[in-house]
Amino acid sequence: MISITKDKRHILWLVFGGLAIGVISSLLVFFGNPRNMGFCNACFIRDIAGSLKLHTAGVVQYFRPEIIGLIVGSSLIALLKGEFKPRGGSSPFLRFVISFCVMIGALVFLGCPFRMILRLAGGDQNALIGLFGFIAGIALGCVFIQRGFSLGPAKSQKMIEGASFSVVSVFMFLVFLIFPSLFAFSQSGPGSMHAPIFLALTAGIVVGVIAQRSRLCMVGGIRDTFLLNDCTLLLGFVSIYVATLVVNLILNAATGQTFFSFGFSSQPVAHKAQVWNFLGMLVVGLGSAMLGGCPLRQIILASEGNSDSAISVIGMLIGAAFAHNFSLAGSAMTDSSIGGPSVNGKVAIVVAIIILLSIASIVTFKRRK
């Protein structure tokens, strides 16, 4: 029987925090972010990779303040609540490889689990196919977890190890503010569309605080539903969906602009190559289940001092650069094309599935032995 926690404080954080995040996501679009992309951890990490000139895709280059806000907000609240605990050393290279694959899957689909929910709330039904793939990937990951898969326990580390991720991230953002000419900026495309810097930073800080206190993680919610019959964590994402949908509909009526459009066609930064929507998010679901959390959760954990999750975020950053340098990312639909990944991207997804299944199988076999 499916149940939820009896911890009322946790439920309140998930429900009201999720509602707040949904409102913030829609308002970020209103103030300049791409449609259905008020928040997207994969897309924003990709944009940061472009801003750092790790890839040369001119339409996705911008140092997204929302990610820095996430890091600052979650780090500060973790410190205040005594939950900043430097730890790590749990299969760091495997985590890098898995996170690299997760980013390839996300960019073939064109979004992380967070954006998948925002796309659904914006009426994009292509994201529903991605959701099915995401659930299938997590279910597959749960099969290995039930048989003993684990990347191993983390060990306590020195403060400098745990704090480095947050400190370096904030330092790079300050360099971006003081010496913007050192960074690449998109002149067109999604990278050129963004909310004002300090509004985006503030929004990120608020979301970071909520995500840290609520333990928000869609992978965790689906995993716990399968393994523990506990759907508590899903309350956060249901709340995000409801709030985003309502605000999108209000903005549609109030502004005359399109914030919600139901269907498969004419959706922003999305494609209709449904097999690859499904398989891209299957990779994200499987890889995230193996890591123990979705891209959002990895950023939050890294900000709490977890160096393993910091390695995961770096893996996603490099994966994003690789995806665009080698034409693996999906292309958006147009009036004359359904969009989708190139041959390179399709091969990359198949290879990613093989890599993830191989890692999961070998680690599980060795632990059972």
Which DSSP string corresponds to 249-280? HHHHHHHSS-S---BSSS-TT----HHHHHHH
Tokens 């009896």 -> residue: 6
Q: Which of 39, 38, 40, 44 is nearest to 317 (CA)?
A: 44
The answer as to whether 228 is a domain residue is: yes
Residue 188 lies in a domain: yes
Please indicate, yes or no, if residue 1 is contained in any of the structural domains: no
**Per the domain annotation, does 3 fall within a domain?**
no
* Residue at 132 is within a domain: yes
pLDDT < 50 positions in the chain: none
The tally of domains found in the chain comes to: 1
pTM, 2 dp: 0.97
pLDDT at 368: 72
Q: How far apart are CA 22 and CA 39, in angstroms?
A: 9
Sorted by sequence, the CB contacts under 8 Å of residue 340 that are 6+ apart come out as 271, 272, 273, 276, 330, 331
Residues 6+ apart with CB under 8 A from 236: 14, 15, 17, 18, 21, 214, 216, 218, 221
Q: How many residues does the chain have?
A: 369
Q: Output DSSP code: residue 337.
A: B
User: Is 2 within a domain?
Assistant: no
Q: Do the domain assignments include residue 121?
A: yes
**Domain that residue 24 falls in:** 8-368
pLDDT given for residue 217 in this prediction = 94
Is 149 a domain residue?
yes
User: Which distant-in-sequence residues (6+ apart) come within 8 Å of 198 by Cβ?
Assistant: 65
Encoding tokens for residue 125? 């039904």
